[in-house]
Amino acid sequence: MYRESFYHFLMTQRNPNQPDEVEQFANNAFYDSAFPKQSQDFDEISKYLEENAEYLPSMLIFDDAWRRYEQKMN
């Protein structure tokens, strides 16, 4: 079964008009050239965000986005 990368999923969540927290995360990740774009691994992405994503005010936002990703992939 095909599983898209988290980044690819996240890009479907972008919203320039009054975004919720996940949509704002997606908007910001779009401009992050070092984001692990091919990854499907929670730990790899989480570690990257914790160390590099100053644009993400809370890892709870990532957790919410990951839940949405998991729901779509299942």
pLDDT at 72 (0 to 100): 92
- The token pair that represents 21 in the structure block: 């927290």
pLDDT over 80 (residue 9): yes
Contacting residues for 31 by C-beta, under 8 A, at least 6 apart: none
pLDDT over 90 (residue 13): yes
Please, are residues 29 and 61 in contact by the beta-carbon 8 Å criterion?
Answer: no
Going along the chain from its start, the domains and CATH numbers come out as 6-73 (1.10.150.260)
Contacting residues for 71 by C-beta, under 8 A, at least 6 apart: none
pLDDT over 80 (residue 1): no
Is 0.85 topped by the overall pTM? yes
Predicted confidence (pLDDT) per residue in 18-66, tens digit: 989 999 999 999 999 999 999 999 999 999 999 999 999 999 999 999 9
